[in-house]
Chains A and B, each alone.
Chain A
Amino acid sequence: MTKNSLILTEEEKKNLKDFWKVYEGVSKKIQEDLLQVVQAIPEFASILNSMTAEQQTKQSKRSHDIQQQAILNNKWDAFLAFQYEQGMNYAKLGISFNAWFKLVNAFKYSFLKFVDISTFEKFKDIVSAIEGMTQFIDITMGIIGDAYIETKEAIIKEQQEAIKELSTPILQMREKLLILPIIGMIDTYRAKQITQDLLRAIKTIKAKIIVMDITGVPIVDSKVANHLVQTAHAVKLMGGKVIITGISPEIAQTMVTIGANLQEIITLGSLEDGIQEGEQILGYKVIHIDKTSKSLDELSVNV
């Protein structure tokens, strides 16, 4: 990821360099200190323990080199990419943002603890070094936060896609008879998707009756009711007819209260009734075969 770029003022650059000068001297001690903190945070500890000592040194050496390049030579690209990658990993591993803040805080305290104030000539230099540290942490946190959120968002989007595909199957029950069980909340986006899929299915299957079962829809408000009406009208424009089933007593009452206009739509209590009604419209008749009857031939005579 190189889309992140960084522009610093001369003063900021100087602060960062001042910070680095101090940090170089105490970095070993800080590392040791931090190691303890990390062990105390379970989320990080498990990652750390999964790495060999060699890997750990290698990782921290790499991190150190990249930081040095960034601060001393003002070459931030590698640093930003590195931190972005870190942020992505944290998001994927499910490390909370909070844990990361704890670590950063520990770094701050550790830094202030080990810095020998007597080595500074002027008070201004101390301020400069601390400003540099804050700057450094802000940059790091900014980029990690970005990566973290973007990665999480990508995961959410992926899951939404998966849910979308799972959620609205269109089943063919008989020639010209479709069943559309809707499960879960209906929002504008999903209603659109359902309607479009359904209309296409009507065209390809040449369906005439669609039984839409809303048993699995938890809440029906005026918006959802409106979506259902719209879908039914769209189906009508394609020469089909919608039968809505699975309306619970509660939902029936809300629909009446909000004054949903369902007059042109056939509504029935259960999916079974809906299928029966659809079959009747299409001219099917389902007959229950009594197994105690002697033979099928005899039955067909009765029919």
Chain B
Amino acid sequence: MKIPILKLESYLIATLQDSINDSEWKQFQSDIMMQSKKYHISGVVIDAGVLDVMDSFATRTLGMIIQALKLLGVKTVIAGIQPEVAFSMVQLGIRMEGTLIALDLEEAIKLLNQILKR
């Protein structure tokens, strides 16, 4: 299933789905890059609220997407990581250092507004 990407003013909002496979991740990466360029996006929110696992592959891929977006001058915020997911991530030693993280979508938008001075 394709990961839906919504546009809200100059932000993009992507909601990750459960059990995303490799090709879907690739598709997602190129989609979000294309759209960011096309709409002159300044901030992206990736909502991970549905995920019940976040393994090292997902984290690495997300990290790459965030890095790539950064090259386009786009700030990315990860939102909605579930308590159980956060706990198992820490246990696995996944840190997501240097990544912007917010509790939920609302907080993520607030954070972006704050960073981008809106």
Query: What chain B residues lie within 8 Å of A208 (beta carbons)?
Result: 103, 107
B115 within 8 A of A: no
In the complex, A192 Cα to B83 Cα: how many Å? 12
Interface centre among B83, B90, B96, B101 (most CB of A within 10 A): B83
List A residues 155-212 near B (Cβ within 8 Å). 192, 195-196, 199-200, 202-203, 206-208
Query: What chain A residues lie within 8 Å of B108 (beta carbons)?
Result: 239
B79 within 8 A of A: yes
Give the A interface residue count (CB, 8 A): 21
In the complex, A92 Cα to B83 Cα: how many Å? 40
Q: A199-B87, A203-B82 known; A237 and B96 CB under 8 Å?
A: yes
A45 within 8 A of B: no
Q: A237-B101, A239-B101 known; A200 and B83 CB under 8 Å?
A: yes
B78-114: contact bitstring with A at CB < 8 Å (1 yes, 0 no)? 0101111111011100011100011110011000000
A206 touches B101 (CB 8 A): no
Interfacial residues, chain A to chain B (CB-CB below 8 A): 192, 195-196, 199-200, 202-203, 206-208, 230-231, 233-240, 264
Enumerate 29 A-B pairs (CB-CB under 8 Å) in ascending A order: A192-B87, A195-B90, A196-B83, A196-B84, A196-B87, A199-B86, A199-B87, A202-B83, A202-B103, A203-B82, A203-B83, A203-B103, A206-B107, A208-B103, A230-B90, A231-B90, A233-B90, A233-B95, A234-B86, A234-B90, A237-B90, A237-B96, A238-B86, A238-B103, A239-B101, A239-B102, A239-B108, A240-B103, A264-B97
